């Protein structure tokens, strides 16, 4: 994070990435002095309502973030930024998205948690678009032109007002990660009671184990001995607001609908109290570690891995066999995970896995049989991408093996 005083003094000349958060109500024109170098501009957590036409002078700008501001419209000047690829305006008050506001090279658009009711047809005309986050808006339909979005790989449309399944998305050739819970068309009447309800006073939270878009996971202990539950537990306390993936309530219901599986985090109980929603789970043993890292700006939708990290082909084959089993279990229960990635997978030294994070999960039993088939096909692409990603870190000595070649052929299927 830099400061406005640094910018005005000229201290930041030549930088490629600028982040300013100083309760700004107007765009600092001094930013234009960075036109020859600036590639990433982060103006999140300010009070901005507009951007100047001169923004297009930032000829090298590739990424702009302006989340948690006061924008009521997506600025049209963005459409004039010829090299802009990633636009993030999460948690504003945006109602209007002009057909002229979308840059020609747009790859990644984040408009989560706004007030958008209609999107322009020009969205489907952005041929490079790969990633689209629209959860938590007021959309009643999507542009029919999105049938042209052949490079689109990840879509988040949860927590909107869509009354019909957007079939123009279901046949897209590259769509692999799809979250659509919390819409009228995906509404379910069922309330899953596969685990008992307990009170929030029955346990005490300890150290935080992890935090995601939808909640915080902590180690916990029961306040009294429990005959029905293990002593080693973790508790996910859901955040109350809509997240990048949708509503916490939908995540909880999808997680419970899936039920138990040897390679899934086991749910034990739930808390459903006013202003307090939580899931009690088995504590994952400490020797498990993350299989991958989330996508970066450049990889966009694909996982990344630590430098130098590799797996043997036998480890990869074992992991994939377990993921295949998980995949079939999910879809036998008519649940689309929506976020099938290595970074949501834990593994141990014996290549045993535990898969989790149901933030983007959606129950789809209410869809037509043809739509259900398409949803399963979409998620199978994600599994094939995961195979491909794991093969990218396969030990060099195993890369000509029969198993490697067989998995590589499987990953290439669509």
pTM (whole model) above 0.85 = yes
Of 149-153, 280-284, 317-321, minimum mean pLDDT range:
280-284
CB 70 within 8 A of CB 89: no
CB atoms within 10 A of CB 184: 11
Angle at 367 between CA 364 and CA 373, to 5 degrees: 80
* pLDDT per position as a tens digit, 22-46: 999 999 999 999 999 999 999 999 9
* pLDDT per position as a tens digit, 312-364: 999 999 999 999 999 999 999 999 999 999 999 999 999 999 998 898 999 99
Q: What are the tokens at 15? A: 């930088």
Measured between alpha carbons, how far is 387 from 385 in angstroms, rounded to an integer?
5
Pairing of strands 215-222, 233-238: antiparallel
Alpha helices by DSSP H, 55-171: 167-170
Each domain of the chain, given as residue ranges in start order, spans 4-186, 200-282, 289-411
* pLDDT per position as a tens digit, 372-394: 999 999 999 999 999 999 999 99
pLDDT-derived band of residue 189, with 50, 70 and 90 as boundaries?
A: confident
* pLDDT per position as a tens digit, 228-275: 888 899 999 998 777 777 888 888 889 889 989 999 999 999 998 888
Does residue 162 carry a pLDDT above 80? Answer: yes
Q: State residue 213's pLDDT score.
A: 76
pLDDT-derived band of residue 216, with 50, 70 and 90 as boundaries?
A: very high
Binding region:
236
pLDDT-derived band of residue 225, with 50, 70 and 90 as boundaries?
A: confident
Q: State residue 61's pLDDT score.
A: 98
Binding region for ATP:
236
Q: Is the CATH number of domain 200-282 3.30.200.20?
A: yes
CB 192 within 8 A of CB 255: no
CB 83 within 8 A of CB 104: no
Angle at 277 between CA 340 and CA 198, to 5 degrees: 110
Does residue 291 carry a pLDDT above 80? Answer: yes
For the chain, the first-to-last Cα distance in angstroms comes to 42
Does residue 210 carry a pLDDT above 90? Answer: no
Q: State residue 226's pLDDT score.
A: 85
Pairing of strands 177-179, 154-156: parallel
Q: Considering the domain 289-411 in this protein, what is its CATH number? A: 1.10.510.10
Q: State residue 229's pLDDT score.
A: 85
Measured between alpha carbons, how far is 37 from 12 in angstroms, rounded to an integer?
10
Torsional class of 349: left (φ above 0), alpha (ψ -120 to 50), beta (otherwise): alpha
The CATH number of 4-186, from 3.90.870.30, 2.40.40.20, 3.80.10.10, 3.40.50.261, is 3.80.10.10
**Across residues 9-34, what is the average pLDDT?**
96
């Amino acid at each position: 994070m830099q400061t406005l005083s640094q910018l005005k003094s000229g201290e930041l000349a030549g930088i490629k990435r600028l982040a300013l958060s100083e309760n700004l109500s107007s765009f600092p024109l001094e930013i234009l002095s960075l036109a020859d170098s600036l590639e990433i501009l982060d103006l999140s957590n300010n009070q901005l309502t507009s951007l100047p036409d001169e923004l297009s002078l930032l000829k090298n700008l590739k990424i702009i973030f302006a989340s948690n501001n006061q924008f009521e419209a997506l600025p049209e000047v963005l459409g004039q930024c010829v090299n802009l690829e990633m636009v993030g305006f999460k948690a504003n008050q945006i109602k209007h998205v002009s057909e002229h506001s979308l840059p020609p090279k747009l790859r990644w658009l984040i408009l989560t948690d706004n007030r958008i009711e209609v999107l322009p047809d020009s969205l489907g005309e952005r041929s490079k678009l790969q990633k689209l986050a629209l959860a938590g808006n007021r959309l009643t339909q999507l542009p029919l032109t999105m049938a042209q979005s052949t490079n689109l790989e990840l879509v988040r449309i949860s927590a909107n007002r869509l009354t019909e399944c957007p079939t123009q998305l279901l046949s897209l050739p590259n769509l692999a990660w799809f979250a659509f819970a919390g819409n009228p068309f995906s509404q379910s009447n069922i309330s899953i009671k596969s685990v008992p309800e307990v009170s929030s006073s029955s346990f005490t939270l300890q150290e935080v184990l992890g935090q995601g878009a939808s909640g915080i996971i902590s180690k916990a202990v029961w306040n009294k001995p429990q005959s029905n539950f293990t002593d080693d537990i973790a508790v996910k306390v859901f955040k109350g607001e809509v997240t990048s993936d949708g509503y916490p309530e939908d995540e909880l219901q999808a997680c419970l609908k899936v039920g138990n599986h040897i390679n899934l985090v086991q749910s034990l109980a739930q808390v459903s109290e006013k202003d307090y929603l939580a899931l009690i789970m088995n504590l994952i043993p400490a020797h498990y570690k993350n299989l991958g890292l989330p996508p970066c700006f450049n990889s966009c939708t694909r996982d990344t891995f630590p430098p130098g990290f590799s797996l043997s082909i036998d480890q990869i084959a074992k992991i994939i066999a377990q993921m295949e089993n998980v995949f079939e279990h999910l879809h036998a229960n008519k649940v689309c995970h929506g976020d099938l990635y290595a970074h949501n997978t834990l593994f141990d030294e014996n290549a045993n896995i535990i898969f989790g994070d149901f933030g983007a999960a959606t129950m789809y039993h209410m869809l037509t049989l043809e739509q259900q088939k398409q949803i399963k096909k979409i998620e199978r692409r994600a599994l094939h991408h995961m195979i491909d990603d794991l093969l990218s870190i396969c030990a060099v000595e195993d890369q000509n093996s029969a198993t490697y070649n067989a998995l590589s052929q499987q990953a290439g299927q669509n």
